Amino acid sequence: MNKAFLILLGASFLALPGVAQTVEPLDAAVVEKIRQEGLNKSQVMDIAFYLTDVNGPRLSGSTGLAKANQWAKDKLTSWGLKNAVIEPWGTFGKGWEVEKSYLALTKPYYQPMIGSPKAWTPSTNGPVKAQVVLVKAAKEEDLAQYAGKLKGKVVMMEVTTPIKTTFTADASRYTDEQLQKLAEPTQSTAGRTPMTEEQMTAMRARRALVGKMSEMFQKEGAVAMFSGRSGSHGTFFTSNGASYAVDAQPALPEFEMAAEDLGRMSRLLAAGIPVEVELESKTRFLTEDPQGYNVIAEIPGTDKKLKSEIVMLGGHIDSWHAATGATDNAAGVAVMMEAVRIIKALNLQPKRTIRIALWGGEEQGLYGSRGYAKKHLGDPATMKLLPEHEKIAGYFNLDNGSGKIRGIYTQGNEAVAPLFNEWMKPFNDLGATTVTNRNTGGTDHLSFDGLGLPGFQFIQDGLEYNTRTHHTNMDTYDRLQADDLKQASVIVANFVYQTAIRKDKLPRKPLPAPRPPQS
């Protein structure tokens, strides 16, 4: 997910004229069947195993993602879903993957270090043994002192932020009080506090300086760079170190590293003690197919009048590369796949067609879902809508880790609140209680909400998502919580099925105004 689990505050819960919705009674026997199938015969962890341990990292454009797409398509087909396809959403760019990575301190003593090549950075020229140079620069003029001193060297910036001991647990769940506060109606439409002009200026200056540094390091003949964003206890957060555009300019080989190793080298160099390292990265660019893809499959509707309408559910299948993308977002994909498996296994007969979508390119900017929406539903830049826009009954998304579902964000859609409260009741005993009018950002439901469609993300317990697994080298199968994912699967299955059988599509908010791309 390309996000920091942002919560944006939405419109008021106050009832609006004409938005009252008929809440059909639930079929308790069907709901109980969904619970029993999902809690006692679950395949969610088996699905997650194949997505992570078997297929490996699923960086956009990589072989691992292509393998996972094919596996998911085949698995959905084996359950009896129809029209399964790996559908292109548009042009992505170059794929990239790591074939070899080695990193160690050799002077003043030998010790392996924790790190990984940054995405879309090139290979080193075979194994490299080199001195490390500490670069201190607050402005472009400060770089002049390093002219002629970087050839054959590894460069790194000074680390000045100390690693603090943590006295709270990495993982946490919502308390009853937090959920109650989240459920409170709010008039606020405020999200994050906007940057001041001074902050914006400082950010632009920093970005410009980083660009100048990279340009100078290459020109001066440095052999590699070390960098790091955040993290502790051997966990590092990863990202891309170069562009994935087909015509991107060359970059230096770069390793993203654990803060402890960066801090040690920084302290040694600041004290005048030479530091030498051994490293090798062997990376591969994939240029034959620049397209990005989504996996799509359906459970056809059974009602003559309603089967042309579509209930969608999904999550993004791509990940970052330093681990196997378990909580971000094999967890969400496994839950959504398990939800449709439950519906098929019980031979339920939805009136509307249920369509699952496993999105690609989410981590780089919601590309898969945005491309799908533009191809099938409409263009948010112009709000010129396509015929299928009218057919969408609702979209449900999961992409906030391995935590159980505690409720759902309505994105300010007051009219769905009575429905969702009723659909949540059979799972109150499993910890799912909260329906909030607030918005949440950062993932694929926004591609639907941005077109005025009823698109929703569930509220999940954070667990250790933001502290330990989100975009890190620790995002592995071991971090998944089986009971939480089972609980989430039955709730999603129920929400999707109820949307597929009710008399009307889910109510919609007013269409938003066109949003032309910003320059």
Domain end position, chosen among 284, 312, 344? 284
- If asked whether residues 203 and 172 sit together in one domain, one would say yes
pLDDT band of 21, cuts 50, 70, 90: low
Distance CA 82, CA 471 (A): 33
Average pLDDT over residues 169-173: 95
Higher pLDDT, 164 or 362: 362
- If asked whether residues 368 and 495 sit together in one domain, one would say yes
Residue 316 lies in a domain: yes
Residue 290 lies in a domain: no
Mean pLDDT of the chain: 93
- If asked whether residues 350 and 414 sit together in one domain, one would say yes
User: Regarding beta strands 115-117 and 353-359, do their DSSP bridges make them parallel or antiparallel, or are they unpaired?
Assistant: unpaired
User: Regarding beta strands 128-135 and 154-157, do their DSSP bridges make them parallel or antiparallel, or are they unpaired?
Assistant: parallel
Residue 192 has pLDDT above 70, yes or no: no
Residue 212 lies in a domain: yes
pLDDT band of 166, cuts 50, 70, 90: confident
pLDDT band of 201, cuts 50, 70, 90: confident
Domain end position, chosen among 256, 284, 312? 284
Tell the residue number behind the tokens 């699952």, with chain if given: 356
Residue 294 lies in a domain: no
Is 476 within 8 Å of 56 (Cβ atoms)?
no
Is 294 within 8 Å of 312 (Cβ atoms)?
no
pLDDT band of 1, cuts 50, 70, 90: low
Q: What is the pLDDT of residue 6?
A: 44
Residue 435 has pLDDT above 60, yes or no: yes
Is 19 within 8 Å of 507 (Cβ atoms)?
yes
pLDDT digits (tens, 9 = 90+) for 209-218: 888 999 999 9
- If asked whether residues 74 and 201 sit together in one domain, one would say no
Distance CA 104, CA 281 (A): 12
Average pLDDT over residues 97-124: 98
Q: What is the pLDDT of residue 193?
A: 60
Q: At what angle do helices 28-40 and 331-345 cross, to 10 degrees?
A: 130
Residue 363 lies in a domain: yes
- If asked whether residues 242 and 359 sit together in one domain, one would say no
Average pLDDT over residues 325-348: 98
Tell the residue number behind the tokens 């109820």, with chain if given: 498
Average pLDDT over residues 109-123: 97
Q: What is the pLDDT of residue 29?
A: 97
- If asked whether residues 355 and 476 sit together in one domain, one would say yes
Average pLDDT over residues 379-387: 98
> Residue 459: beta bridge partners?
407
Is 280 within 8 Å of 126 (Cβ atoms)?
yes
- If asked whether residues 388 and 271 sit together in one domain, one would say no
Q: Where are the beta strands (DSSP E) in 405-487?
A: 405-409, 434-436, 439-440, 455-460
- If asked whether residues 120 and 255 sit together in one domain, one would say yes
Pick from 408, 400, 398: which is nearest to 436 by CA?
408
Q: What is the pLDDT of residue 5?
A: 40
Residue 428 lies in a domain: yes
Q: Which of 226-230, 267-271, 301-305, 489-493 is least confident?
A: 226-230
CATH number for the domain spanning 429: value is 3.40.630.10
Q: What is the pLDDT of residue 519?
A: 52
- If asked whether residues 202 and 249 sit together in one domain, one would say yes
Distance CA 120, CA 57 (A): 14
- If asked whether residues 143 and 232 sit together in one domain, one would say yes
Could you tell me the strand order of the sheet in which 405-409 lies?
Answer: 82-91, 291-299, 353-359, 310-316, 392-397, 455-460, 405-409, 434-436
pLDDT digits (tens, 9 = 90+) for 284-294: 999 999 999 99
> Residue 95: beta bridge partners?
286
DSSP per position, 396-416:
EE--S-SPPEEEEE-TT-GGG
> Residue 456: beta bridge partners?
396
- If asked whether residues 89 and 103 sit together in one domain, one would say no
Q: Which of 189-203, 265-279, 363-377 is least confident?
A: 189-203
Q: What is the DSSP letter of 95?
A: E
Number of domains composing the chain: 2
Residue 3 has pLDDT above 60, yes or no: no
Q: What is the pLDDT of residue 170?
A: 93
CA-to-CA dists, residue 149 to 158, 210, 222, 235, angstroms: 17, 18, 9, 32
Higher pLDDT, 386 or 14: 386
CA-to-CA dists, residue 240 to 64, 71, 284, 468, 473, angstroms: 17, 26, 14, 19, 14
Residue 13 has pLDDT above 50, yes or no: no
Percent of the chain with pLDDT over 90: 84
Residue 366 belongs to domain spanning:
7-13+46-94+301-501
Distance CA 112, CA 115 (A): 10
CATH number for the domain spanning 120: value is 3.50.30.30
Distance CA 436, CA 441 (A): 14
Residue 308's contacts (CB-CB under 8 Å, 6 or more residues apart) are: 301, 353, 391
- If asked whether residues 309 and 444 sit together in one domain, one would say yes
Residue 517 lies in a domain: no
CA geometry: angle 238, 242, 246, nearest 5 deg: 130
Domain end position, chosen among 230, 257, 284? 284
Residue 416 lies in a domain: yes
Q: What is the DSSP letter of 61?
A: T
